[in-house]
Structure 1
């Protein structure tokens, strides 16, 4: 006699908020890729701080990546990272197809569309290379430190993984995205400001990241 399906398959407690965090993670990545097509400069006397529009949201992907790795482990964090990788490629292909498609006679913004979103494939290429290295490094280091030293010193895991992950991410992204597009002086400025800014953002929002991780762990029944 066959067992009912419900009896033959062991019950697995579903994740309560993993999908929400993963969707937010991927959405922030896609938005950051589009915003990164614009370089922004704040002038302070004779000196300029140069960064891209993606810097507004992109640091939050590392915060969410920390939550995923800390709560769910490296395998599930990697799953979300790979989902972001796939949808970034899809977005790039869609923008390319739309850009090369013949515009309607009434559409007057073809040049503007190509100037902004036509640059997205290069941004996405840079983002994908930087993202897959930086995010995987970030998640792996966080989990490695946790396995090595236990649950204590969450701040050390969060900041240690960010310092390494963001360094790899920033160097790869800035070089691929804007080498040859801007001067070497601006590129160095861009890399330095971007890296310092991203690490500083994660440090400043640690008071939010801490309770968020503890709350998600409580929801998921994880210690």
Structure 2
């Protein structure tokens, strides 16, 4: 699959995939959908890919390099948000009829921005660190490492994002159910695609370093 690449070259590609998925997830998070009577942000469609790439980075390249990509993703997402808001602020010509819709899609409240940034940083770092720690404990159990690290990372992400973003605006029972549903959905997503994750990791490990 990656025969013509080195680990160094693939690291750059994974950084691009990780950052792009993060930015896309924050754009589509503004819309929700119903999933078996649960309401979830549409970001859950793509956000698990971020954690899968996170697992690959931590497993193959180690915690330090995974953390660099996490911080890069944070910075590029911040750049994207600043650009969105500057674009919305700039006066539109009279013939541009979709200015309000454009602003609704790309603008975010400060509360949701803080919630998503804090949740992303903590959840991603915990996921990567736990992945590396479990590898030292037992290097053979890749499935166990991927699922446990994602469960903790996604769980923390869901708790932090939904608590900061929605506490006081919806009933506590609904908030708790949103946290559980979001964390379980993302973890089940990773379980389903685990064979792909394993294949990617195994192929990357065979590549030359440079």
| 2:115 aligned residue | 126
Q: Hey, which bits of structure 1, 4+ residues long, moved more than 4 A?
A: 180-183
Q: How many residue pairs were aligned?
A: 205
Give the structure, 1 or 2, with the largest relative contact order (CA under 8 Å, sep 6 or more): 2
TM-aligned CA deviation for residue 147 of structure 1:
1.7
2:136 aligns with: 147
Whole-angstrom CA distance in 1 between matches of 2:103 and 2:167: 20
Instruction: Say yes or no: does 1:177 pair with 2:170.
Output: no
SS state at 1:50 partner: strand
Which structure has the larger Rg over C-alpha atoms?
Answer: 1
TM-score (norm 1): 0.85
1:50–1:189 CA contact under 8 A, matched in 2 = no
The two structures have a TM-score, normalised by structure 2, of 0.90
- The runs of 5 or more residues in structure 1 that have no matched partner are 1-12
1:1-223 alignment runs, 5 A limit: 15-42=8-35, 44=36, 48-119=37-108, 122-149=111-138, 151-220=139-208
- CA distance in 1: counterparts of 2:103 and 2:172, whole angstroms: 25
Q: What's the Cα RMSD here?
A: 2.0
Unaligned runs of 5+ in 2: 1-5
Query: Matched residue of 1:17: which SS?
Result: helix
Q: Are the equivalent residues in 2 in contact too, given 1:28–1:57 (CA < 8 A)?
A: yes
